[in-house]
Chain A
């Protein structure tokens, strides 16, 4: 086929709009409103409507509820100002709950991401059967949390559980995992990390496989050791993935509920009650909806602050596209 490489003259240059509806004479504001803006609003308004209805309206309602005194039976409601928050911050249990939440989140995120990266580094090597191992590592993430919790509750049983049996081989007595307030939170954290490790590993693995090999080769030529290559190439190049995993992990650990509900019910003696479980306990069990709402506001603010801090950290530490 002959190709015409002749330059086009300005007289011939007459681009046609894609459809008449998009035609807008320059400077015509009315045309913009009637055409592009109409389409824009058409697409955006339904989303804003549902987002407002199902996300922001409940948030606002929850905040209003947190300032009320409510009788759950008669539905009588009166303004209580900050009473519910004052009650919460004076409550011994609430302080313990906030501490539990902080420990739970820090441990879960650090161990899930740390071990996930280690597993990803292993799976990134050319080892026999690594595809099968990848599937096995990822499988727990797909299992329902309540099922995982039931199985681990048996594993942790200090008298006839699997862990007790294994520790028995070395003549070590098992901790009373779910019965001892000093161990119960650790048991839930171990279960959470086991369940979510696979997801972090697979995402890290995808990140590792996206790092250009020539960066490693250049580092090797410069005489960098394996540790320095990991520190100076792998970690910076993985920083966007790490950031993504950190944000999603922190948010999901804030909301972890199923494992706690099935394994410990928040006990013993509130030792595994986190903020989200406390909201459930105050709302559904104690039927103090206003206190549950106040705790939910605290939870929301904490999540917002933590996410904002992560975003600030991202500006300084996260390197995109090798920058």
Chain B
């Protein structure tokens, strides 16, 4: 039997083909940096592919390859911490994973639970020289599962022109309640749109609000995964911020860093890792300060470390460790910090003449260094429960964007976190006993 293809059957067929071909895909636009060389090839996936941070990352890779030590680093850059982690998750079953990768504060633990990381104690050089708190973030069950690389803390950024125009002395804003008192005058007395800019969940809103939660005496959870976000102290922080937004001229914006650069915010909490970007692109004079206190001071660490993914040969692991040690040695830790604004991860880097001279010229970076000893590792609910960051961020969105009472939003997210922590605890039981 023959069947003629007419317009009807063609159109039907085309529609059917589209239906069969219906498959969603995640689009990445990896930026490949490769260099000629011989010997061992180290595959590196990084979250730093563009902007100031991307330039610094490229220089580190090029400098390493220029050593001509028989190791060549081939790098693929992704657009975010999440993209890198998703790509590795995809590759774990097929074996298409890098030797080394940036794994952020909220992702490394997921790979640790999958037992996909190489223990770095035998490979990391001068371990005692790393900033102890940053190095300790990757210590688990007596092993070292990563080393700090692009580590950051939140800091308080403020628009000097707006504060001057409104006649507000930044030094007098040491507490959140102080800021609340002057917040409306910042909007009324200057050209800014908002006294303070809150980010959304995608802008790591749960991270930037982590410090204020601690400052009000609350926690997202304790280290044993007991969820505490809906307890009165954290709720007080939520209500305070809701009031700041509803009544004191603050606003929830899509991207606080871009808004700050454009001069629409009088103040924001941002990452030290944005310092390079804001300095390079900012249109307003700005300064940084320690995060405001309230009942106490609270500031978490953040950012990303470097971890080796399991599956490589001993030779490749050793070569990869050389690259990690290169990226985090005194000279490069200093370079990376100066160029990007991330924290220097070695004591010797901070103490180096080069870095001290840089700090003398860049007081905004000095603030982050001064604040560093006061920082603490983050609560497990945000960093160790999968999607904890996004879920807490969405709870903050509910409070700040939808004007939902903090108790209601935090109760809802607490239930979700309780549920989502179960597989983590099961896995920990298997791994750590």
Contacts and interface: CB of A to CB of B under 8 A. Distances in A.
Interface in A274-306: 276, 279-281, 284-288, 303
Contacts of B12: 314
Interface in A243-288: 243-244, 247-248, 251-252, 254-255, 257-258, 264-265, 267-270, 276, 279-281, 284-288
B296 to A, nearest CB: 30
Contact of B262 (A160, A247, A251, A287): A160
A317 interface: no
Interface string B6-34: 11100110110011101111110100000
Contact of A265 (B8, B202, B252): B202
A287 B386 contact: yes
Contacts of A314: 12
Interface string B389-433: 011001001100110000000000000000010011011001000
A145 interface: yes
Nearest to B113: A73
B166 interface: no
B397 A268 contact: yes
B370 interface: no
A240 B11 contact: yes
B402 A269 contact: yes
Interface in B234-290: 251-254, 259, 262, 264
A321 interface: yes
Contacts of B420: 286, 288
A241 B110 CA distance: 49
Interface stretch (A14-22, A173-181, A213-221): A173-181
B27 A146 contact: yes
A71 B420 CA distance: 10
A237 to B, nearest CB: 11
B397 A320 contact: no
Contact of B401 (A268, A279, A307): A268
Contact of B7 (A146, A285, A320): A320
B184 interface: no
A269 B19 contact: no
Contact of A268 (B110, B252, B423): B252
Contacts of B23: 255
A225 to B, nearest CB: 29
A153 interface: yes
B11 A181 contact: no
Interface string A149-189: 00001000101100000000000000000111100000000
B402 A179 contact: no
B401 A179 contact: yes
B19 A251 contact: yes
B201 interface: yes
A76 interface: yes
B201 A159 contact: no
A276 B23 CA distance: 10
Nearest to A71: B423
Interface of B: 6-8, 11-12, 14-15, 18-20, 22-27, 29, 82, 86, 89, 110, 113-114, 193, 200-202, 251-254, 259, 262, 264, 386-387, 390-391, 394, 397-398, 401-402, 420, 423-424, 426-427, 430
Which 6 pairs show the lowest CB-CB distances between chains A and B? A265-B202, A73-B427, A286-B387, A247-B15, A73-B113, A320-B8
Given A180-B401, A270-B394, A307-B19, 18 more contacts: A71-B423, A74-B426, A157-B254, A159-B262, A179-B254, A240-B8, A241-B11, A243-B15, A244-B14, A247-B15, A255-B22, A265-B201, A269-B401, A286-B386, A287-B387, A288-B386, A314-B12, A320-B6
